[in-house]
């Protein structure tokens, strides 16, 4: 068998998928360049890690203000690189970062403060413990193209607040946004090396995993996540994985149909359906199914498909990012058609897909089982609460789910039974934009958390400091030499602490008192 050697292109082209316009050329970086970036970040961390948290917060607030002042220019770069409207880029990719910067700048010190731990009987025996947190060092961030600003920028801010420095590998489809992130730090005046960016393809990402970084934060497909975990395991690099989703929306029969159909459409088609938390399965109660689906279809037809850099609000549905992504969407639509589903919409022109509503499907269809990541919405009816829960949970994924009803008690009851890391009641999509709460997935949707207190704790190591206040005054009764008295002392202590009988406890106490002074004098050199 012959082996074909395919050379990597040295350059990545950033192209607007909506227009084909070339937006820039960026290096497809090799192993040495990645190592060099990690070296720089490691050097920078030595000083950055020593800066008090309050001062780090001041830096982040400076960055926040720089982003706010340039919000339209930043959104413009993102919008062109993704081929979606500037309105979408501004609201979903840049705006949430301002709140996130604020939250971590003002709360990191409180969350990471040293914490005394009650250690039960050990406290009585003259010991005390506290835990404190310290940074990992250099955090490697590998991010996708669908939110090329908010996903990595959020993780970078959290990493920096915790005292780490970062190396970011943006998606090969959005290198320009990646470089823009680096420039924002530079323009704000951050020390060199605090936020390094390595542009390149998947191979560049794999170099980053084995480059000596201290932890990897990966956001992307479950498939790539598994590959990264294998490489990370070889180097014992800890990972946080933010992976794919197939998120269900459950609609009960008491909803306001007008509002809830608007929500379903937004949840399914926002960012051209290319959101990990997109509504990819819609379950509607049988009683309102007909009326609901009619409204969804009617409203979907009104969505404008296209791209304009002059009118940021001109089109709701932008382009799909790539040919590969388009093929996946096409495959799901065709599979549905071939198996007897009714598809309304779904026509394709260049990299644009008319949003599609799919009816007469069940859980045997690809479009219901696999992540589509496009503007496609399958709708299915259900009859009972239990059935809705069972259908929603019948997935390999567990990112977000939403429950829609006026009966909040019922919604909370349902939420309790959903195997998802986030459950929204009468809302969808937005929780990644709420920095105070954890973001992550269960099952094949991920490992670990970003955002919230939990996300900050992923960026630090835990140090336990234990003090024996009697350590310079007396020997511990379990040290050498072993003796009969020490053995009896151990048995008495067991009963004193753990016997349910008061009588045994008193006997044990007397046993300890009897042996204690003898034990404390027993030493090896006597
Ligand atoms: P991919 O998994 O294809 O890529 C994600 C990142 O990993 C990219 O930067 C990619 O580089 C890089 N990469 C690819 N191969 C490797 C490798 N072997 N080693 C290291 N890095 C590698 O995902 P997409 O970019 O297509 O993003 C879409 C996916 O992301 C969807 O599944 C979506 O659900 C998920 N996602 C999850 C989120 C969450 O929070 N749970 C949020 C957003 C998206 P390159 O681009 O060059 O291939």
Whether residue 95 has pLDDT greater than 60:
yes
Structure-token match 């859980």, residue found: 363
pLDDT average, residue stretch 295-301 = 98
Whether residue 131 has pLDDT greater than 60:
yes
HEC readout, 213-236: CCEEEEECCHHHHHHHHHHHHHCC
- Residues near 19 by Cβ (< 8 Å), separated by ≥ 6? 83, 307
- The pLDDT value recorded for residue 299 is 98
Q: What is the average pLDDT value for the chain, to the nearest integer? A: 97
Nearest CA to ligand 1 atom 48: 202
Q: Tell me the helix, strand and coil percentages in the chain, rounded to 5.
A: 45, 20, 35
For residue range 2-17, list pLDDT tens digits in order.
Answer: 455 668 899 999 999 9
Cα→Cα distances 491→437, 484, 509, 512, Å: 47, 11, 11, 9
- The pLDDT value recorded for residue 7 is 81
pTM for the model = 0.97
pLDDT band at 1; cut points 50, 70, 90: very low
DSSP symbol at 70: T
For residue range 155-194, list pLDDT tens digits in order.
Answer: 999 999 999 999 999 999 999 999 999 999 999 999 999 9
End-to-end CA distance of the chain: 76
User: What 3-state DSSP class applies to 401?
Assistant: strand
243 CB near ligand 1 (under 6 Å): yes
273 CB near ligand 1 (under 6 Å): no
Cα→Cα distances 29→10, 90, 169, 206, Å: 7, 29, 10, 11
Give the Å distance between the CA of 143 and the centre of ligand 1: 6
245 CB near ligand 1 (under 6 Å): yes
HEC readout, 20-67: CCEEEEEECCCHHHHHHHHHHHHHHHHHHCCCCHHHHHHHHHHHHHHH
Alpha helix locations (H) across 112-221? 121-124, 150-161, 175-188, 202-209
Percent of the chain with pLDDT over 70: 99
Cα→Cα distances 513→486, 488, 494, Å: 12, 11, 14
446 CB near ligand 1 (under 6 Å): yes
For residue range 193-203, list pLDDT tens digits in order.
Answer: 999 999 999 99
Among residues 239, 244, 217, the alpha carbon closest in space to that of 397 is found at: 244
Whether residue 388 has pLDDT greater than 90:
yes
pLDDT band at 44; cut points 50, 70, 90: very high
Which ligand 1 atom minimizes the distance to the CA of 224? 2
Give the Å distance between the CA of 32 and the centre of ligand 1: 22
Query: What does the DSSP assignment read for 271-302?
Result: GGG--TT-EEEEEEEHHHHHHHHHHHHHHHHT
441 CB near ligand 1 (under 6 Å): yes
Whether residue 124 has pLDDT greater than 90:
no
322 CB near ligand 1 (under 6 Å): no
Taking the C-alpha atoms of residue 81 and residue 15, their distance in angstroms, rounded to an integer, is: 6
Nearest CA to ligand 1 atom 15: 202
Ligand 1 pocket test: which of 11, 34, 141, 144 has the largest number of ligand atoms within 8 Å of its C-beta? 144
The helix (H) or strand (E) run that includes residue 404 is strand 400-404
Taking the C-alpha atoms of residue 158 and residue 164, their distance in angstroms, rounded to an integer, is: 9
Which ligand 1 atom minimizes the distance to the CA of 169? 9
Taking the C-alpha atoms of residue 499 and residue 338, their distance in angstroms, rounded to an integer, is: 70
DSSP symbol at 202: H
- Reported as half-sphere exposure (CB side, CA atoms, 13 A), residue 469 has a value of 8
Torsion angle (degrees, nearest 10) of CA 114, 115, 116, 118: -160
pLDDT average, residue stretch 271-297 = 98
- The pLDDT value recorded for residue 2 is 47
- The pLDDT value recorded for residue 6 is 65
Nearest CA to ligand 1 atom 23: 220
Taking the C-alpha atoms of residue 140 and residue 211, their distance in angstroms, rounded to an integer, is: 9
Q: What b/e string do you get for 43-57 counting C-beta neighbours within 10 Å, with b at 16 or more?
A: ebbeebbeeebeebb
HEC readout, 456-513: HHCCEEEEEEEEECCCCCCCCCCCCCCCHHHHHHHHHHHHHHHCCCHHHHHHHHHHHH
221 CB near ligand 1 (under 6 Å): yes
Give the Å distance between the CA of 225 and the centre of ligand 1: 8
Query: Are 277 and 245 within 8 A, CB to CB?
Result: yes
Taking the C-alpha atoms of residue 28 and residue 199, their distance in angstroms, rounded to an integer, is: 6
Exposed / middle / buried, residue 335 (Cβ in 10 Å: 0-12, 13-18, 19+): middle
- The pLDDT value recorded for residue 4 is 56
Give the Å distance between the CA of 135 and the centre of ligand 1: 25
Q: Which residues make beta-bridge pairs with 132?
A: 463
Query: Are 310 and 262 within 8 A, CB to CB?
Result: no
Active site residues: 242, 276
pLDDT band at 516; cut points 50, 70, 90: confident
Whether residue 501 has pLDDT greater than 90:
yes
pLDDT average, residue stretch 25-34 = 98
Which ligand 1 atom minimizes the distance to the CA of 450? 40
Exposed / middle / buried, residue 401 (Cβ in 10 Å: 0-12, 13-18, 19+): buried
- Residues near 123 by Cβ (< 8 Å), separated by ≥ 6? none
pLDDT average, residue stretch 364-386 = 98
Tokens matching residue 472: 């310079």
Tokens matching residue 110: 């409180």
144 CB near ligand 1 (under 6 Å): yes
Alpha-carbon Rg for the chain in angstroms: 28
255 CB near ligand 1 (under 6 Å): no
pLDDT average, residue stretch 255-264 = 98
Ligand 1 pocket test: which of 145, 224, 273, 431 has the largest number of ligand atoms within 8 Å of its C-beta? 224
pLDDT average, residue stretch 222-239 = 98
Whether residue 524 has pLDDT greater than 50:
yes
DSSP symbol at 93: I
For residue range 309-364, list pLDDT tens digits in order.
Answer: 889 999 999 999 999 999 999 999 999 999 999 999 999 999 999 999 999 999 99
């Amino acid at each position: 068998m012959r082996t074909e050697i395919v050379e990597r292109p040295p350059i990545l082209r950033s192209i607007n998928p909506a227009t084909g316009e070339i937006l820039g050329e960026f290096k497809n970086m090799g192993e040495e360049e990645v190592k060099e970036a990690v070296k720089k970040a490691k050097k920078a961390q030595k000083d950055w890690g020593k800066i008090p948290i309050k001062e780090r917060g001041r830096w982040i607030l400076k960055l926040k203000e720089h982003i706010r002042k340039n919000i339209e220019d930043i959104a413009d770069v993102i919008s062109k690189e993704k081929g979606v409207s500037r309105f979408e880029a501004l609201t979903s990719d840049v705006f949430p970062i301002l709140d996130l910067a604020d939250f971590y700048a003002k709360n990191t010190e409180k969350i990471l403060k040293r914490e005394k731990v009650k250690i039960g009987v050990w406290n009585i025996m003259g010991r005390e413990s506290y835990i404190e947190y310290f940074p990992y060092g250099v955090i490697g961030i590998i991010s996708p193209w669908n939110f090329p600003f908010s996903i990595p920028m959020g993780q970078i801010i959290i990493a920096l607040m915790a005292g780490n420095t970062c190396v970011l590998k943006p998606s090969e489809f959005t290198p320009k946004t990646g470089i823009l992130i680096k420039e924002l730090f530079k323009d704000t005046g951050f020390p060199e090396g605090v936020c390094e960016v390595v542009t390149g393809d998947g191979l560049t990402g794999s170099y980053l995993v084995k480059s000596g970084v201290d932890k990897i934060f990966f956001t992307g497909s479950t498939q790539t996540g598994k590959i990264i975990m294998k490489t990370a395991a070889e180097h014992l690099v800890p990972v946080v994985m933010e992976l794919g989703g197939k998120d269900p929306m459950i609609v009960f029969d008491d909803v306001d149909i007008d509002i809830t159909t608007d929500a379903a459409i937004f949840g399914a088609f926002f960012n051209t359906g290319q959101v990990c938390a997109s509504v990819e399965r819609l379950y509607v109660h049988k009683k309102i199914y007909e009326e609901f689906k009619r409204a969804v279809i009617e409203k979907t037809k009104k969505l404008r498909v296209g791209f304009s850099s002059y009118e940021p609000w001109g089109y709701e549905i932008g382009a799909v990012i790539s040919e590969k992504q388009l093929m996946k969407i096409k495959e799901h639509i065709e599979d549905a058609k071939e198996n007897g589903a009714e598809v309304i919409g779904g026509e394709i022109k260049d990299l644009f897909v008319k949003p599609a509503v799919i009816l007469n499907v069940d859980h045997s269809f690809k479009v219901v089982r696999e992540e589509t990541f496009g503007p496609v919405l399958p709708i299915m009816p259900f009859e009972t609460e239990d059935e809705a829960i069972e259908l929603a949970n019948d997935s390999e994924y567990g990112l977000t789910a939403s429950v829609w009803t006026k009966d909040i008690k019922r919604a909370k009851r349902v939420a309790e039974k959903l195997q998802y890391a986030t459950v929204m009641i009468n809302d969808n999509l937005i929780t990644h934009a709420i920095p105070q709460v954890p973001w992550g997935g269960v099952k094949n949707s991920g490992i670990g958390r970003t955002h919230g207190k939990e996300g900050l704790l992923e960026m630090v190591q835990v140090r336990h400091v234990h003090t024996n206040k009697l350590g310079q005054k007396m020997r511990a009764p379990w040290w050498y030499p072993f003796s009969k008295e020490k053995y009896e002392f151990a048995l008495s202590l067991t009963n004193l602490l753990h016997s349910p009988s008061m009588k045994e406890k008193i006997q044990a106490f007397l046993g300890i008192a009897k042996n204690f002074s003898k034990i404390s004098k027993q030493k090896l050199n006597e």
